Structure 1
Amino acid sequence: MLRIMIAVDGSEPSLDAVRHGVKLVRQGLHASLVLAHVQQEATFFELATQDPDLIARASVAAGRHLMEPAVALVEAAGVSYETEVGLGEPAPTLVDMAERNGCDMIIIGALGQGGVRRALIGSVSREIARLSNVPVTIVKHPDPADVADAQDVVDED
């Protein structure tokens, strides 16, 4: 059975990635899902002034909370899954999580940004694709302007 890691951050693009993973399984792909989320590590100041264990527990709890919509989608579909919350920089931590979990593929959602904006802003999805040793599927979330343009074309017909 294949293991597919899906990066989840509570955003609509990440839920698009979850829907894509569920769709693959429902279409007959024999796979289980690993829903993965990464929280940024605490700052040096936070670690120096707070209990590090308390900060880590709060970060994991926040990550699990952000994953709730994704978990609900997967459970509603009846698809086998696990969850994991990591701490660190998103792209390398997600790639490490995929390797540790023996995942055969990574699915991640991304905003459908174009042109100059995409060139100037770093992309976690592109960094995962660069770092990963397993195939990465990037599920693009539709740009609201593109959706509006497509609706205008439909309305004109």
Structure 2
Amino acid sequence: MNRVLVPVDGSKPARSALEYALEQFPDAELTLLYVVDPMVDYSRRRAYPGYTSDDEHTTEREKGEAILESSLEAIPDDRVVETALEGGPPAQTIVDYADEHEVDTIVLGSHGRDGVSRYLLGSVAETVVRRAGVPVTTVRGG
């Protein structure tokens, strides 16, 4: 496997997935992907009427940049890693990115929700597993 995509969101499961990818794919090209979810902007605008979409998008983008920078700090200095920041629904954006960039595998963290909470909240990991055209490894963390 030459190209490994590791979606990151600042969570413990995402950090565990990054650690797993570093250990299991020592010679692979890693790409860390942060997805800016437009629904976060929408939800905050509805909950806090004074926010503009421009302000909120910048905030979410800055959050993504900070998470990518923080994730890079966990990478050994001799390891070359790319980062990407994309906007869209998280699961579909991850799958699309993998397709468009010829990724060989995806390693992502899973919160391990089940039952009603998974039904109500949805599961990015589950959707990626179902829709991705490449192997997906989910790593529970936390």
Distance of 1:36 and 1:119 partners within structure 2: 23
State yes or no: 1:103 paired with 2:103: yes
Distance of 1:112 and 1:38 partners within structure 2: 20
Q: CA deviation at 1:113?
A: 3.6
Identity of aligned residues (%): 27
The 8 Å contact of residues 22 and 79 in structure 1, kept in 2 or not, is answered as no
Q: TM-score, normalised by structure 1?
A: 0.73
Q: Determine the structure 1 residue equivalent to 2:88.
A: 88
Which amino acid counterpart does residue 61 of structure 2 have in structure 1?
A: V
The 8 Å contact of residues 32 and 83 in structure 2, kept in 1 or not, is answered as yes
Which amino acid counterpart does residue 70 of structure 2 have in structure 1?
A: P
State yes or no: 1:63 paired with 2:64: yes
Distance of 2:62 and 2:78 partners within structure 1: 24
Distance of 2:58 and 2:99 partners within structure 1: 23
By percentage of residues, which structure has more helix? Answer: 1
Q: Determine the structure 2 residue equivalent to 1:150.
A: none
- Classify the secondary structure of the residue corresponding to 2:74: helix
RMSD between aligned residues: 2.5
Q: CA deviation at 1:20?
A: 0.4
Q: CA deviation at 1:77?
A: 5.5
**Runs of at least 5 residues in structure 1 that lack an aligned partner in the other structure:** 143-157
Aligned residue-pair number: 134
- Classify the secondary structure of the residue corresponding to 1:43: helix
1:37-56 matched pairs, under 5 angstroms: 37-41=34-38, 42-43=41-42, 50=52, 52=54, 56=57
Judged with a 3 Å threshold, the aligned counterparts in structure 2 of structure 1 residues 135 and 77 are, in CA distance, closer, same or farther, namely farther
The 8 Å contact of residues 22 and 77 in structure 1, kept in 2 or not, is answered as no
Q: CA deviation at 1:59?
A: 3.1
Distance of 2:35 and 2:82 partners within structure 1: 15
The 8 Å contact of residues 15 and 141 in structure 2, kept in 1 or not, is answered as no
Q: CA deviation at 1:24?
A: 1.5
Q: CA deviation at 1:89?
A: 0.6
Larger Rg: 1
Q: CA deviation at 1:39?
A: 1.1
Q: Determine the structure 2 residue equivalent to 1:31.
A: 28
Distance of 2:138 and 2:15 partners within structure 1: 12
The 8 Å contact of residues 91 and 128 in structure 1, kept in 2 or not, is answered as yes
**Runs of at least 5 residues in structure 2 that lack an aligned partner in the other structure:** none
1:51-93 CA distances to partner (integer Å, 9 max, x unpaired)?
74x654443222111223321112x253221000111110001
Q: CA deviation at 1:117?
A: 4.5
